[in-house]
Structure 1
């Protein structure tokens, strides 16, 4: 899959985003939501996040095959230079470089805004034979330069089992005195 383009997600993507995400909600412990949001809710979320942060879609042959976005890490002013990231790739197109391209574009957009830290909250298995989550996301983030900063035990309950979550971070800018306050997102084409 070489013809992947990355662009800002738009209203017309809501059905595709909901479909991609539904797999992860219904079949995995990658997300701790129990009920998959419909297209209208996905569009509401996209609109809200896009007001300030990038919300990107990966497209191949006219079809949305993944998406990634960043949102506020915490609602306090001193956290303005930090975001939390999320990424979901269509289950049928995983391991084809889409996630890397999405995260590279997301990081580029965040850097241009003045964001310095990207944080990722990742569900991890407590048992290596867990049918609902693997260490794939942890390995993916490590490969992209994220480092492990913490583990919270028994933080999420789904599919009649408890899950740990880990936090990983990637520093993407210089931490100086009087940093430029981050700008709002400038959507891609």
Structure 2
């Protein structure tokens, strides 16, 4: 896919319906998400708003339509975990394999580094070899493997945690900056770069 055809930008609440359309078949047809029921549009908007208070939420636009999205969420709700987040990425299933997920993650990581996030963690249902291979290509390493901890569609799934370090872990880390406190012009400029 030509990078000039693909635009990465910050998501807006008005994108929720299109993003939910991407997410829905992952809920109904796969164990890539362990959610059983497709959330309502109102619930999905609420989730987006909660995420966007602190973290980036990105969409990839191709041919005028949202082709994929990614965001991070709080890893744990204790202050000591502030520098760690959990990643999420979904791409329209009919156009997977074109580098959209990679491009979204690359831009996401740039913004996370601006926020002083140091650890990115991915929780992956196993076996999903394509998800594991994707994260390995992005520089993640498997750090944990839990057995038969998720049940969906009549199958018990293992859970794999993968991790990537974005920066150095010093004895006095810089405080994490909420997404709303970053320079929006700088974010926009980074998202526009190929």
SS at match of 1:169: strand
Which residue of structure 2 lines up, in the alignment, with residue 161 of structure 1?
155
Task: Report the RMSD for the aligned CA atoms in angstroms.
Answer: 1.0
Which residue of structure 2 lines up, in the alignment, with residue 9 of structure 1?
11
Distance 2:25 2:105 in 1: 20
2:151 matched to 1:149?
Answer: no
Distance 1:7 1:50 in 2: 13
Which residue of structure 1 lines up, in the alignment, with residue 47 of structure 2?
45
Distance 2:141 2:155 in 1: 26
Note the 1:1-189 alignment, pairs <5 A. Answer: 1-2=1-2, 3-125=5-127, 134-185=128-179, 186=182, 188-189=187-188
Alignment coverage as a number of residue pairs? 181
1:54-104 C-alpha deviation (Å, 9 max, x unpaired):
111110121101000001100000000000000000001100110000000
Deviation at 1:39, TM superposition (A): 2.2
Distance 2:109 2:44 in 1: 22
Distance 2:41 2:63 in 1: 21
Distance 2:88 2:46 in 1: 16
Q: Does the aligned pair in 2 maintain the 1:17–1:42 contact within 8 Å? A: no
Distance 1:170 1:179 in 2: 17
Structure-2-length-normalised TM-score? 0.91
Q: Any unmatched runs of 5+ in structure 2? A: 189-194
Distance 1:64 1:40 in 2: 19
1:159-189 C-alpha deviation (Å, 9 max, x unpaired):
0110001000000001001111100014644
Q: Any unmatched runs of 5+ in structure 1? A: 126-133
Structure 1 moving runs of 4+ over 2 Å = 186-189
Distance 1:109 1:40 in 2: 27
Deviation at 1:6, TM superposition (A): 0.7
Structure-1-length-normalised TM-score? 0.93
Would you tell me which structure has more helix in proportion to its own residues? 2
Deviation at 1:37, TM superposition (A): 1.3
